Amino acid sequence: MCFRYEREINLGHRPVLKRVHEHDDVPAKHMVLIIADIKNMINAEGISPGARDYELVLTDGWYQIKAVTDSRMERAIARGKLVIGSKLAICGAQLGGDSQPRSPLSASSNDTYLSITTNGSRLVPWDTKLGYQKDRLIFRSLSTVFEDGGLVTAMDVIVCRKYPMMYTETLSDGTRIKRTAREEEEIRRQFSGMRMNMQREQSSPGGDLSVLPSKLENRNVSVHFKMQLCDYHCSGNKKIKQKMATLLLLNANELNHMDIQEGSRYRIFFTMPYTFLDKSNSSNNTSHLNTSSTLHLKTTHKTRWENIANVDEEKMASTLYIPRFITMTALMETLEKNSEIDIAALVIRKSFFCLL
């Protein structure tokens, strides 16, 4: 106790979980904790009274805190992949429960817990030092990202393909309409013309400018575009197959679209995997990406980018990135279904098909 008092009070060197409990530091930092206990929340009837089947107790060697996990990590616990004594590197954790700063030794500290995810955690060797780590974030390769594993803290990737911007308008009844840039420009032109004509009519004697038809109210339009990514650092383990992924950049603008270049290396932080469901309404230019085997990611309000100019040519050659090239029309019949191609061709005939 004397040593602890000297270190924490006089020297100000407080352990990780003490700083987190007292809200003097954020829980999202990269830290290593050890599993002190695993509580099975399933009762004798095989039913869990809460949303989770397991609850972890993590410690930094001095203090402890409860932790809740996602379904992916719970399956790892059930299979015995995570046991008491395992060390976890954790990044991107969130603090839940009691919102007030508490001492980790107080009884009310039991109401505080960490929410951790599989994509934000990894097992580390037994001799890894507990506490904060020098590396700020956990970088994951695309082949190790789980669709149901929660937030991905960091990736080092190459942008293989960048697709055109798409516009989604949400109508007052909740209906969503997707449009290309050319279609959106035409709708804007029509909307602007209708609005000007209506304002001109209502500005005449007896007109009321405060009353406009509902269809001329401000439009609710969101912009997004997709990219295809591959890992920059390829794993030396041949058993791990390289994987590609799509990234949906939400709330985008033309500047975002121009800044991102194909064949460039980026470090992308805080993205979220998601399950692509609306396959029937997928746009034509990205329909080949909407397969069940493809990893789908999307940006969050925390997402940020870092352009890395330093690219090793040997590492680049070992990635899945293939620069764009023109495909001859005579070879199109030999390509696999849903293959992505770039062609330069002259339209010599146009036919119309009637679907009954």
In this predicted structure, the answer to whether residue 202 has a pLDDT above a threshold of 70 is no
Residues in the chain: 356
Band of pLDDT at residue 158, cut at 50, 70 and 90: very high
Please report the pLDDT score of residue 174 as a whole number: 84
Q: How many other β-carbons are positioned within 10 Å of the β-carbon of residue 209?
A: 9
Distances from the Cα of 18 to the Cαs of 14, 85, 236, in angstroms? 6, 20, 39
**β-strand pairing of 295-308 with 244-249:** parallel
pLDDT category at 108 given cuts 50, 70, 90 is low
Q: Are 229 and 246 in contact (CB under 8 A)?
A: yes
The per-residue pLDDT of the chain, averaged, comes to 83
pTM confidence score: 0.80
CB-neighbour burial class of residue 158 (10 A; exposed 0-12, middle 13-18, buried 19+): buried
Q: What is the pLDDT of residue 167?
A: 93
pLDDT for position 328: 86
Quick check: 208 pLDDT over 70? no
Q: What is the mean pLDDT of residues 206-233?
A: 76
User: Under a CB-based contact definition with an 8 Å cutoff, are residues 15 and 60 in contact?
Assistant: yes
Spatial distance between the Cα atoms of 45 and 116, rounded to a whole number of angstroms: 27
Q: How confident is the model at residue 205 (pLDDT cuts 50, 70, 90)?
A: low
Query: What would the pLDDT profile of 278-320 be if each residue is shown by its tens digit?
Result: 555 445 556 555 555 689 999 999 999 999 998 888 888 888 8
Q: Choose from 32-41, 101-110, 319-328 the range with maximum mean pLDDT.
A: 32-41
Distance CA 294, CA 134 (A): 33
| Percentage with pLDDT > 70 across the chain | 81
pLDDT value of position 310: 86
The one-letter amino acid code at 196 reads M
pLDDT at 123: 94
- What pLDDT band is residue 237 in, cutting at 50, 70 and 90? low
Question: In this prediction, what percent of the chain has a pLDDT beyond 90?
Answer: 45
Is a pLDDT exceeding 60 seen at residue 115? yes
Low-confidence winner among 75-84, 138-147, 189-198, 245-254 (lowest mean pLDDT): 189-198
Amino acid at 213: P
Res 151 pLDDT > 80: yes
d(CA 63, CA 79) in angstroms, rounded, equals 27
Residue 130 has pLDDT above 60, yes or no: yes
Nearest to 175 by CA among 220, 213, 214: 220
- Work out the average pLDDT over 323-348: 84
| 268: three-class secondary structure by DSSP | strand
Residue 231: strand, helix, or coil = strand
**Parallel, antiparallel, or unpaired for β 94-97 and 54-59?**
unpaired
For range 166-172, the mean pLDDT: 89
User: What whole-number distance in Å separates Cα of residue 73 and Cα of residue 148?
Assistant: 10
